[in-house]
Amino acid sequence: MSTFSEQVYDVVKKIPRGKVMTYKQVAIAMMKPRSARAVGNALNKNPDLLIIPCHRVVRSNGLVGGYVHGMRKKVSILLSEGIGIHHNRVDKKYIIMSKKRMK
What CATH number is attached to the domain comprising 69?
A: 1.10.10.10
Helix (H) or strand (E) segment spanning residue 58: strand 57-58
Q: Which of 12, 43, 54, 83 is catalytic?
A: 54
Bridge partners of 57? Answer: 21
Asked if residue 85 belongs to a domain, the reply is yes
Position 101 confidence tier, pLDDT thresholds 50, 70, 90? low
Does residue 47 have an active-site annotation?
no
pLDDT at position 53: 97
pLDDT at position 2: 84
- pTM to 2 decimal places: 0.91
The tally of domains found in the chain comes to 1
Q: Which of 19, 48, 18, 43 is nearest to 30 (CA)?
A: 43
Asked if residue 99 belongs to a domain, the reply is no
What's the domain range around 80?
3-94
pLDDT digits (tens, 9 = 90+) for 56-79: 999 999 999 999 999 999 999 999
pLDDT at position 97: 78
Position 100 confidence tier, pLDDT thresholds 50, 70, 90? low
